[in-house]
Structure 1
Amino acid sequence: MDIEELYSRFTECNGLTTDSRHCPEGSMFLALKGETFNGNAFAAQSLAQGCRYAVVDEPQYASPENPRILLVENCLQTLQQLANYHRRKLGTRMVGVTGTNGKTTTKELIAAVLKEKFNVLYTQGNFNNHIGVPLTLLRLKPEHEVAVIEMGANHPGEIKTLVHIAEPDCGIITNVGKAHLEGFGSFEGVIRTKGELYDYLREKGNATIFIQNENPHLNKIAEGLNCVRYGQTSGLDVSGAVLSCSPFLHFEWAAGGALHEVKTHLIGAYNLDNALAAVAIGRYFGVEDTKICHALSSYVPQNNRSQLVQTESNTLIVDAYNANPTSMMAALLNFRQMEAEHKVAILGAMKELGEGSREEHQKVVDFLNECQFERVILVGPEFAGLSASFEHYENVKEVEAMLAAHPVQHCCVLIKGSNSMKLSELPACL
């Protein structure tokens, strides 16, 4: 079945699902495969549970007697082609967002600002890969006026794939840092891959990027693009500065000769750039300055990203969704500058750093020696055997047992680590 005919069937449905456990009435089921599952085997079940059509790529699951099962050559490729076809049909204005750190928060802030004026579709959760981006695009409705699409990558070429599916009209790389080095091979590999967004927009012609003015790596690869610049230098399209951060970011921004002040619910001075990016994009799309300020001051972060959690015993800064050398150092710098009498840092290992893993973890330990926090708890095998005198535990279960026996009380606690370390389970123990 070609993509045009399949799209005609898709328009008869009220959405698309790839999960046979979630089959809304009248939706289309598309069978994907993984290491431990084959979605083709659930095609008939999805129809019985309410789907209008099921799309498969293995002939034994299709039958001429059942016209509701549609056979294609490759379901993953079909998902991506269908999403691109749908995106082109609707012609929605599209903002592409990628970067090493801050892309999810930036995406959320951009969406919050644009919603002050438009009907906005934006990436939910971590749906930012070769499956998540198409699924997001297929949620587009004619009433959506703007879409904000987050794109992640841990190997070269992945952003190139995603931009050719989403076809953004403008875009932002929040920054480039040392993350997923195991997949990228080097920091230069990170820059090249994130830069695939710029490459696409450059080929598209007359496209705009939003760029952090003080970032030398981004400036180096931005040649030939229309740049809207934001940062801490005066005279930019959007300039800003931190006023305070104890603990929430309070900042000012200037554009078009006007100065504005915003008190946010964001933890960390490192969120200034994320907020200024949202300001720059909001103004580009014609959102009024006062509405931009309202959106930024109203936004409350979720999903263990720089969240302030107050328990009966402690004040927690929970940033346990992701960690790499760049974001780890930013979190520690911010924590060191915070005003608190008793500070405890609980840090989980940073994953996917390849051969440089031991060196990067040692750098974190060396910096911790300078910080002189009241207590430091390191979690994960990557911290074992380093030149450090801090407490060390192999996993979060060991930490939970220790905290049950020796509770932490009346402290400000930073919880930072890669998602796979499961440090998000610790607030219940603190």
Structure 2
Amino acid sequence: MKNMTLDNVAKACGGALHLPEGGHRKEDFQEASCVVIDSRKIEPGGIFIATKGEKVDGHRFIGQVTEGGALGVVCEREEKDCPVPYILVKDSFQALKDIAEFYRRQLSVKVVGVTGSVGKTSTKEFIASVLSARYRVLKTSGNFNNEIGLPLTVLSIRQEHEIAVLEMGISDFGEMHRLSKIAKPDICVLTNIGQSHLEKLGSREGILKAKSEIFDYMNSEGYVFVNGDDDMLRHIKKKGNHEPIHFGLKPENEIFASDVFDKGLFGSQAVIHANLEVFQVEIPLPGIHMVLNALAAAGVGMQLGLTAEDVKQGIANVEAVRGRSNVLSLSDCTLIDDCYNANPGSMQAAIDLLSMASGRKVAILGDMFELGEGQEQLHGDVGAYAVKKKIDVLICTGKLSGHMYEQAVHTREAADAQEKKEIYHFAERDEMIQILPKLLKKGDTILVKASHGMEFEKVVEFLVKRDN
């Protein structure tokens, strides 16, 4: 890792470097092979940052990592018998961010920062897939998009990488400012401004303000790509030395799609118009929102020198991420695994996707968190929307989802339809799982979606295991 010596790391995080008896060894001047907070991931010559979590204190594993050949340790307490140098800091998590910020400055890699209320992960996947046609790309893995995950992702960049595509997620003001300070993006992509994290951000205007902190440390010669169909993003002003580039389904955007053909759960086709090029693409992931993600990727790719053919191939090769609109064909049903997270906008998009399926449509929906004062109404709106989209079976789970259930029942009764849709409510997830086999039928298409804290991956695991 370029310039990542113990002395430089200590200076970067404002820590005090303590040496074992005998002073510096020659290996103390070498560059670290890795920087980790998980002791299981230490490599010979790596640096271990001991952090205190809610359940585990990393200081317990300092002996283990030194035996594993660690170059040094960053920690919050004195380690008098430590056989390798240690850097004493006040806050290990702050040290992690400071070290990542220092390391980012040593790199010539271009960084694409992706944020927005909905679709960050899918857009990141599309961009990485497209850019991989010509570049060696590192992308955010899993949910490593916050003030712990992003610095760890930056610290995983290596000399061979030419571009890093970083997902940047927040829930409060100031967080994106700090993430931008670490990532220093050359290209910023904003997907939309929805209704996530309203509890702290207050309104869509607050969300826009918080997300816009991504521009605080961006390259002044960099480019900004925004969803021009979003009523708030389309009004973003010039950033750095370039005007924002708009993508969307409307032809007034600089990058837009026409002739969109929806193939339901099998994805879609579209004709992309970008940089005076017009070309047809096959988008393998389902949902109209995936067309927007493909447009963002096309814009970024062509800005970085890719051809229309490169973009076309990269879009065709994109793969679904577990828990993110991942369609699984099981022996007795089709499962839409969208359980990673949820807010009102992504709930409606997932219900739209489910409504495209043939046969009986089942939505297993759970609570959405961090929505603030209007959370009851927002849950109710989702219930009403599911009924209006003719979902055959709606299974609501969780305390807040009681409002989803009540509004769904009210909407069903008001419609006075000849066919009464099935609507259920369960207070607890595990209670619902026990009853679930009695509610499902062979041939169902089943959507599973809730906020991450509901742990609906356990519902997906139950359905998959039941199929085996």
TM-score range relative to shorter protein: over 0.9
Number of the residue aligned with 2:3: none
Number of the residue aligned with 2:139: 122
**Is 1:347–2:362 an aligned residue pair?**
no
Number of the residue aligned with 1:404: 437
Number of the residue aligned with 1:372: 390
Asked if structure 1 preserves the Cα contact closer than 8 Å seen for 2:186 and 2:221, the reply is: no
Number of the residue aligned with 2:416: none
Number of the residue aligned with 1:233: 250
Q: What RMSD, in angstroms, separates the aligned Cα atoms of the two structures? A: 2.2
* Aligned residue among 112, 117, 127 for 1:110: 127
SS of match in other structure, 1:286: coil
Asked if structure 1 preserves the Cα contact closer than 8 Å seen for 2:277 and 2:308, the reply is: no
- Separation (CA, whole Å) in 1 of partners of 2:439 and 2:117: 36
Asked if structure 2 preserves the Cα contact closer than 8 Å seen for 1:107 and 1:149, the reply is: yes
CA deviations over 1:185-241 (Å, ceiling 9, x no partner): 33322111101113443xx53331011122221123334452222112226432113
Q: CA deviation at 1:67?
A: 4.3
Structural mapping, 1:169-208, within 5 Å? 169-201=186-218, 204-208=219-223
Number of the residue aligned with 1:356: 374
SS of match in other structure, 2:244: strand
SS of match in other structure, 2:337: strand
Counterpart residue identity of residue 88, structure 1: R
SS of match in other structure, 1:409: coil
- Separation (CA, whole Å) in 2 of partners of 1:199 and 1:45: 40
- Separation (CA, whole Å) in 2 of partners of 1:335 and 1:10: 57
Number of the residue aligned with 1:48: 67
**Is 1:286–2:319 an aligned residue pair?**
no
Which is worse superposed, 248-257 or 78-87?
248-257
* Aligned residue among 226, 238, 253 for 1:211: 226
CA deviations over 1:127-178 (Å, ceiling 9, x no partner): 1111111111111222211111111101111000000111111211111111
- Separation (CA, whole Å) in 2 of partners of 1:397 and 1:138: 38
Number of the residue aligned with 2:89: 72
SS of match in other structure, 1:42: helix
**Is 1:414–2:447 an aligned residue pair?**
yes
* Aligned residue among 16, 21, 32 for 1:13: 32
Counterpart residue identity of residue 351, structure 1: F
CA deviations over 1:246-288 (Å, ceiling 9, x no partner): 2212222122443222222211111111110000000000111
Asked if structure 2 preserves the Cα contact closer than 8 Å seen for 1:17 and 1:28, the reply is: yes
Asked if structure 1 preserves the Cα contact closer than 8 Å seen for 2:225 and 2:296, the reply is: yes
Task: List alignment gaps of at least 5 residues for structure 2.
Answer: 1-5, 13-26, 410-422
- Separation (CA, whole Å) in 1 of partners of 2:129 and 2:214: 23
Number of the residue aligned with 1:301: 320
Number of the residue aligned with 1:382: 400
* Aligned residue among 263, 274, 281 for 1:255: 274
- Separation (CA, whole Å) in 1 of partners of 2:122 and 2:30: 32
Number of the residue aligned with 1:330: 349
Q: CA deviation at 1:349?
A: 1.5
Asked if structure 2 preserves the Cα contact closer than 8 Å seen for 1:114 and 1:120, the reply is: yes
SS of match in other structure, 1:214: coil
Task: List alignment gaps of at least 5 residues for structure 1.
Answer: none
Asked if structure 2 preserves the Cα contact closer than 8 Å seen for 1:123 and 1:148, the reply is: yes
**Is 1:28–2:47 an aligned residue pair?**
yes
Task: Name the CA shift for 1:292/1:72 in 2 (closer, same or farther; >3 Å).
Answer: same
Q: CA deviation at 1:244?
A: 1.7
Number of the residue aligned with 2:264: 246
Counterpart residue identity of residue 54, structure 1: V
**Is 1:134–2:145 an aligned residue pair?**
no
Asked if structure 1 preserves the Cα contact closer than 8 Å seen for 2:249 and 2:256, the reply is: yes
Task: Name the CA shift for 1:293/1:11 in 2 (closer, same or farther; >3 Å).
Answer: farther
Task: Name the CA shift for 1:214/1:310 in 2 (closer, same or farther; >3 Å).
Answer: same
- Separation (CA, whole Å) in 1 of partners of 2:270 and 2:307: 18
- Separation (CA, whole Å) in 1 of partners of 2:297 and 2:101: 26
- Separation (CA, whole Å) in 2 of partners of 1:403 and 1:214: 39
Q: CA deviation at 1:45?
A: 2.5
Counterpart residue identity of residue 100, structure 1: S
CA deviations over 1:74-120 (Å, ceiling 9, x no partner): 32222212111111112211111111110111111111111111111
Asked if structure 1 preserves the Cα contact closer than 8 Å seen for 2:113 and 2:189, the reply is: yes
Number of the residue aligned with 1:81: 98
Number of the residue aligned with 2:413: none
CA deviations over 1:290-349 (Å, ceiling 9, x no partner): 11111111111121111111111111222111110111112222333x141321111121
Which is worse superposed, 103-112 or 213-222?
213-222
**Is 1:392–2:425 an aligned residue pair?**
yes
Identical positions, percent? 33
How many corresponding residue pairs? 425
CA deviations over 1:6-51 (Å, ceiling 9, x no partner): 6795953221111123333332111112233332332223212332
TM-score between the two structures when normalised by the length of structure 2? 0.85
Which is worse superposed, 4-13 or 315-324?
4-13
Counterpart residue identity of residue 328, structure 1: M
